[in-house]
Amino acid sequence: MADALKILVLLWLVNLAPPFLAHLLEGRWNAPLDRGIVLGNGEPLFGSHKTLRGVLAGVLTGAVFAPLFGIAWWAGLLAGALSMAGDLLSSFVKRRLRWPSGKIIPGLDQCFEGLFPLAVLAPYFSLGAGSFVAVFLLFCVGAYTGSWFLREVLMMEPFEDYPRPVRTRTRLREFRSCQITSHSLKYLLNFENAFYYHIFMKTVFRLLGVYEKGMQNALKIEERRFSLAFPDLPESFDGYRVLFLSDLHLDGLDGITEAVIAAVKDHPVDLCILGGDFRMETYGPFDKALARLRRIIPHIRAKDGILAVVGNHDCLEIVEPLRNDGITFLVNDSMPIRRDGSQIWFAGVDDPHDYKCHDLGQAFHGIPRGAFCILLAHSNEIYREAAAFRPRLYLCGHSHGGQIQVPPFGPLFTHSSAPRKYCEGVWHYNGMTGFTTGGVGVSGVPVRFNCRGEVSILTLRRKA
């Protein structure tokens, strides 16, 4: 029984190796193994999904892991090679039958890939007929389940008009953060964050006797005003006021919604910008945050409406409901705002911190050369890339100003790879002005120390 289990696990590892390497390397070194050869029926020899990278991954996995199961490396190498040969044979048959590349065919996709290496490993362990059949069937079930999850979950768009490229790395994070809402599974799949913030950090602040004080601090949102001058700002936009709210995390602390409403309701502006992170956690449902944001929207008095980008805490599924509420999301997109015959452009990118789906080229596509442009991004971490596109202003958040600051050292953490001088307030880089807000809400633990939440009002000025 133990020998059968060793063989089964080794075969599963060989089967997993090609898609796992594709997950790590994505588009690198993924040229088709058949080099585009087309046979008489007009179909390719194997198809684009079969690559030299994948074949080598399977063969080498067999050789490397075999000694861990008491199997000679050469037997593992041979088993890996035969498994990949079986996989190629299945693809060859499917192409001759004109089945599309990547289509899962139960039985055919797993049959040869399991039988060929078993022919080598079964005699090696003197495996009986019953054990042989059991290993083969279990391999087929496991291989099919893995293929189904890859093709039907990780490589499928989760909803219509999905704006991101379908990549396993991104979809796996979305699956864990947005598609899993079960009370137990969401904590299990995000155990590190759940343990660190909900158990460890809260316990530390309670033992120090400052947890309640920190929560009170988090509800004290201040209004901060900044005047930003640009010599090429169109005259009709001189004095243009922007209300900038980022990192609301509305479901993380009771009372924060009321505090935001109180802070914005008496301040008419020209435009409101939401910088992302509407939800407290990086996983689970967003319904509560959505409901609370809908309470705030009617109190925002912005002549030109509300623009928004998504953050690393957000699910893309929140975009469509908020669009129906009148919010314009810029997900690697841009739009102009016109006034008296002049215009300024706003370009917004997808989350650059965790999902790393920002596409500056796509966001700036269509913006006239030399136009006055403001870039919206959740995080400051792409400031170098952004400067190459010459936006006049880069608006971002994410850092919360540290959320917890210790004088005179400043923030304990900024959760950003950018230098600390770019993590709060106004900054400059290579001719580009940047502004990083300290954020409205709290993330992780609902406390603030020496760092208040803020509602930022930015006034654009035409000055030298």
Tell whether pTM > 0.85: yes
Cα torsion 252, 255, 257, 260 to 10°: value is: -120
Q: What per-residue confidence (pLDDT) applies to 184?
A: 75
| Residue 8 near residue 64 (C-beta atoms within 8 A) | no
- Residue bearing tokens 């993590």: 423
Q: What per-residue confidence (pLDDT) applies to 434?
A: 98
Averaged in consecutive runs of 10 residues, what is the pLDDT profile of the chain (464 residues)? 89 94 85 83 83 93 94 94 94 86 83 92 88 93 92 88 91 90 76 80 92 96 96 97 98 95 94 97 93 97 97 96 96 97 97 96 95 98 97 97 91 92 96 97 94 96 87
Alpha helices, DSSP H, located in 308-420: 319-324, 360-364, 383-387
Report all structural domains of the chain as residue ranges with CATH numbers, in order of start: 2-156 (no CATH), 203-461 (3.60.21)
Nearest residue to 396 via CA among 303, 443, 448, 458: 458
| Residue 293 near residue 278 (C-beta atoms within 8 A) | yes
| Residue 215 near residue 209 (C-beta atoms within 8 A) | no
Nearest residue to 453 via CA among 403, 399, 387: 403
Print burial letters for 46-82: b (CB count within 10 Å at least 16), e (below 16): bbebbbebbbbbbbbbbbebbeebebeeebbbbbbbb
In degrees, to the nearest 5, what angle opens at C-alpha 253 toward C-alphas 251 and 258?
90
Nearest residue to 78 via CA among 47, 136, 122: 122
Q: β-pairing, 454-461 with 342-348? A: unpaired
Q: What per-residue confidence (pLDDT) applies to 293?
A: 97
